[in-house]
Chain A
Amino acid sequence: MAEIYSDLIPRVCVHLSVFFYVSGPESDIGGKRRAPDRTTTTTKIKKKKMSQQTVNGVPSRGKVLTLDNMNPNVKRVEYAVRGPIVQRAVQIEKELKEGVKKPFSEVIKANIGDAHAMGQKPITFLRQVLALCSYPELLEDNKFPEDAKKRAKRILQACGGHSIGAYSASQGIECVRQDVARYIEKRDGGISSNPDNIYLSTGASDAIVTMLKLLVCGEGRDRTGVMISIPQYPLYSAALADLGAVQVSYYLDEDKCWSLDVAELRRSLNAARQHCNPRVLCIINPGNPTGQVQSRQCIEDVIRFAKEEHLFLMADEVYQDNVYAEGCKFHSFKKVLFEMGPEYSSTVEMASFHSTSKCYMGECGFRGGYMEIINMDPEVKAQLTKLVSVRLCPPVPGQALLDLVVNPPQPDEPSYTTFMKERTVVLADLAEKARLTEQIFNKVPGITCNPVQGAMYTFPRITLSQKAIDKAKEEGQVPDMFYCMKLLEEEGICLVPGSGFGQREGTFHFRMTILPPTEKLKVVLHKISEFHLRFTQEFS
């Protein structure tokens, strides 16, 4: 355990007593990887700019911050779900507003898992409590149910100055962390959870990035490698680029419903050991963008593999309530880990992530989330606590919302019936839409679609002709981007090309959310099907 972290502590450690606050050990990178020399860069730019612009005869100085001297890691950051296609979609919306004629009247953004944007209604109880927290005078209002008032009072009691406008502890409000721990215990059939191991965050993304930041270190062949699935959620590749970590890809098996195979993990790990130091294994379950739900057996195999290979496990479980397929069930990594006995449960280091943005709530705008850490070295934990303090605290309304999610109305409370009804409707709708999507897509020649067992997306494979591929090349686009752009321009439907998530060489996909309301979803699915046939014909 200690060995995973031995080189990490000094990095985050702070030496205040010295005059220059230098963080981390001096690197011995030598001349090879040196950043462009500042003087020469600026001179070069100055020359360029001087010829370009002079103000009142005075040559203007070159930029301090240029592509040449900015943090090179940032250049490698790509975030497809908010990438160029989305920017174009926004532009088209603007054009429509300005009266430009298009073959469609609205842009349907099926690019992002944003339930409310697609018309899903917020859960009444959650919003009532939050409104009460925001404006406590409403506690006098008899229109609000008693259990909502009770929750609001309890949350306010836990806030500094009884206001959700006060900072909370960086790790999150204590009573919320306690509720999260109790929720996890209940979910995992009684396996204990310690509130000290719960860190609330600004959405799960923030927690994932923080964990990676803590784990990544070393230089050259010793640089940390992080294993991520392909296809993956682009937050991972973006964060790894940003941190300068080495991405170690393992492929999910599309022919077996995007399942994870330990042999493939091993292949990928061994290959990576030639050039980096793989120390982290990331798993997304239920899968994004692939929608598969892992079996208990598979999780056990992964845990065994992580232990054998001495890897830190990061389990992204934000879709844990979104499981639709018959025979599939969500198993948390933590539960499986503890059921495997002390040999595993007391050694394998793990972080598990959850969020308020998905499941039945879909409250993305609140940026609420948490992670639970297991078996982390106490000294490293102290560093983690310090690391999260830099952001001061996660948004307090998001923490309050999380508290309600982990501690929903109980059967004997007045809001229970409505709450359960709303929750059930959302999840049942999603299940229906998951089924519908698979069914309709699979009827289209040239589209093959795995069942959407869970999460909120479908990731169908599309067959593109050589002619289409050549045309894309001509346009300077990757083939599936070319396809998606064309779909956006012709049908007003915004999807994310598979290349943004990673796919096997020579295969093409797109990701679409299943979130539009059922009737609209049918229209979207049919439009895409028709487009696909048209596209195939055009480039045949």
Chain B
Amino acid sequence: MKQLEYVVLARRASQIMEELRKGARKPYSEVIDVSWGDPHRAGVKPLSFVRQVLAACLYPELVNSNKLPVDVRQRAQRLLGQCAGGSIGSYTATAGIAEIVHRVSEFITRRDGGAPSHPENIFISAGSQWALQNILKVLVNSKSSPKTGVLTPVPCHCTTTLSIMGLGAVVIPYYLSEEQGWELQVEELDRALESAKGVCNPVALYVINPGNPSGGKISPEQRTPKYIFVSKNMYHMVVFHAMLPVGHIQRRKSIQEVIRFVSEKKLFLLADEVYQGCVYGEKSEFISYKRVLAEMGPPLSDTVELASFHSASKGFMGECGMRGGYVELINLDPDVMKYIYKLFSKDSCAPVLGQIALDLMINPPQPGDPSYPLYNVETQNIRTMLVHNVKRAFEVVNSLPGFCCQPVEGGAFAFPRLHLPPKAIQKAKEVGLQPDTFYCIRLLEEAGVLISPGCEYGQKEGTHHIRFCIMTSEVMMEELLRRLTCFHTQFMKDFS
């Protein structure tokens, strides 16, 4: 019962917080919650520029006040002009505010080295998961026999697997190779597809790049973390390898193999690329599936059907609460597109603030703009903080007995493997919990740290992991690692 593992933990965490508020004595004064990919929750500050524009859109009196920088006010005014009735309280077109959709397509073209992108293929939604569900809905025929199958990575965040199953489809797991830094291997895709024979009818391959809880191909030498920024460009930022929750980034060659694979096997490709703004690995650079596909040329580039997802929740901005995401659809049958439009229209429109957050993410202040210096300092600080966190988490976790952590190249999580002593596994069985959930519950009770167990994401039989967010403030990361170290040392002693 995958989802329920986390629900148990989350419920207990809020009870503990309530107890603390009521003055209960614990070895800690507050609970650190790093179970979500949620930077703001973990102490990362929102970007001033983004919040200033949102505030001015919300309360247009601010457009005329000198409290905010002039470019902020101009931006807000322009955005308000693009909303019906000049208010962000009105509905927008189904796919989103037309001008924003247009700018998303320009962003994609820029990102992909000129590969064309068309606004009519883009739908903005209340977060990328929402768009993913709509596309899955079109793909999955719940009445079909055999059932529709979707190749899905393990590990994978559980919302997607739940969505797939909720639609009445079958999840066909393919395992990322932990030993190879959570790399996606085409042989494994072959095996997975073969295993589906007679069980279901596979129609789609779901890939996550950069990986959500995992990563890509890295040679052993590369695994020593180095901390170099190669590029300043926020969207192609190269940082370094560190821990994983599968912070793996796919290389061009691997993407090409996947594209060839889906073409040959007649699969629809679903590329979850929401972590494209979070790339840390040295020599790691995010390349989109769309770009690789375009560059592979015909016939592949005009046949392979691709849905690529992105979001305002990740990257440096981390505005998860706004719920802004989009999907770009490539090579879809125009007749099918009509129905996809209808499906999105049923949801009315994405929250307008989410749409605006998305717009600000892809069009940040430029050098010369009044807001640029502050924006630059803030994003640099976040970058530095991430570098610090990734390095520290990698060092500390790997120094603990029983832990082994792959380098994190991208994404927002570390996903270290945990070798639990047999006594701990035995104890977990006695209390009716998965071993890693047992570990997480103890960590929560004793050290006030909320993380999620590997069993939530799927893992190879007999292996155990934990996942935690690395997009936290430095202070919080240090505190988290201190608590984890103390707890783990005691835990291993107790169960040795």
Contacts and interface: CB of A to CB of B under 8 A. Distances in A.
A114 B140 contact: no
B457 to A, nearest CB: 10
B359 to A, nearest CB: 14
Given A63-B305, A122-B87, A366 B351 contact: yes
A209 B162 CA distance: 17
Given A79-B342, A134-B51, A19 B322 contact: no
A159 B89 CA distance: 22
B379 to A, nearest CB: 15
Contact of B40 (A70, A141, A161, A209): A161
Given A38-B201, A392-B127, A398-B351, A64 B267 contact: yes
A160 B59 contact: no
Contact of A72 (B10, B141, B331): B141
A100 interface: no
Interface string A102-146: 000000010010111111111000011011101101100101000
Contacts of B93: 90
B351 A128 contact: no
B144 A34 contact: yes
A117 B166 contact: no
A493 B88 CA distance: 23
Given A362-B89, A365-B83, A65 B142 contact: no
Contact of A365 (B46, B319, B339, B351): B351
- Most chain A CB atoms below 10 A, which of B43, B67, B164, B299: B299
A167 B38 contact: yes
A71 B165 contact: no
A216 B91 CA distance: 29
B363 interface: no
B451 interface: no
Contacts of B310: none
A70 B336 contact: yes
A77 B342 CA distance: 7
Nearest to B51: A135
Contacts of B313: 167
B332 interface: yes
A134 B141 contact: no
Interface residues of B, number: 112
A161 B343 contact: no
B484 to A, nearest CB: 20
B137 interface: yes
B166 A23 contact: yes
Contact of A20 (B83, B142, B163, B200): B200
Interface in A383-436: 385-387, 389-398
A128 B155 CA distance: 43
Interface stretch (A200-208, A256-264, A291-299, A342-350): A200-208
Contacts of A66: 333, 335-336
A23 B165 contact: yes
B405 interface: no
Contact of A396 (B2, B48, B196, B322): B322
- Most chain A CB atoms below 10 A, which of B62, B195, B196: B62
A74 B59 contact: no
Contact of A14 (B2, B43, B336): B2
A160 B41 contact: yes
B259 interface: no
Interface stretch (A236-244, A273-281, A530-538): A236-244
Interface in A30-89: 33-35, 38, 42, 55-56, 58, 60-61, 63-67, 69-75, 77-79, 82-83
B173 interface: yes
Interface in B348-362: 348-354
Given A14-B1, A116-B87, A365-B87, A29 B41 contact: no
A159 B319 CA distance: 13
A392 B159 contact: yes
- Most chain B CB atoms below 10 A, which of A33, A35, A72: A35
Contacts of A203: 348
B140 A71 contact: yes
B41 A21 contact: no
A122 B201 CA distance: 51
A75 B339 contact: yes
B29 interface: no
A367 B348 contact: yes
A65 B342 contact: no
A75 B138 CA distance: 9
A363 interface: yes
A213 B164 CA distance: 14
Contacts of A118: 85
Given A114-B84, A365-B83, A395 B55 contact: no
Contact of B348 (A42, A90, A135, A364): A364
B336 A163 contact: no
Interface string A186-219: 0000000000000000110110010001000000
A500 B277 CA distance: 43
Given A71-B142, A205-B348, A244-B143, A134 B321 contact: no
Contact of A395 (B92, B347, B354): B354
B413 to A, nearest CB: 14
A445 interface: no
- Most chain A CB atoms below 10 A, which of B43, B90, B322: B90
A168 interface: yes
B119 interface: no
B347 A206 contact: yes
A116 B84 contact: yes
A232 to B, nearest CB: 14
Contacts of B455: 16
A12 interface: yes
A65 B87 contact: no
B426 interface: no
Nearest to B355: A365
Nearest to B143: A33
B162 A389 contact: yes
A78 B48 CA distance: 42
A175 B111 CA distance: 41
A520 to B, nearest CB: 12
Contacts of A114: 84-85, 90-91
B52 interface: yes
A238 B320 contact: no
Contact of B133 (A174, A364, A390): A390
A365 to B, nearest CB: 4
A24 B168 contact: yes
B82 to A, nearest CB: 12
A257 B147 CA distance: 48
B219 interface: no
A389 B3 contact: yes
A392 B129 contact: yes
Contacts of A206: 347
19 contacts: A12-B166, A23-B165, A24-B168, A27-B145, A58-B299, A82-B345, A116-B89, A141-B67, A165-B319, A174-B14, A205-B346, A362-B89, A364-B348, A365-B89, A365-B352, A367-B350, A389-B3, A394-B323, A397-B351
Counting from the closest, the 6 A-B pairs by CB-CB distance are: A396-B321, A160-B41, A117-B84, A365-B352, A35-B144, A23-B165
Given A21-B170, A23-B165, A29-B145, 16 more contacts: A20-B199, A64-B267, A65-B333, A66-B336, A74-B339, A77-B339, A77-B343, A79-B346, A114-B84, A160-B33, A161-B43, A165-B321, A166-B321, A168-B321, A205-B346, A392-B320
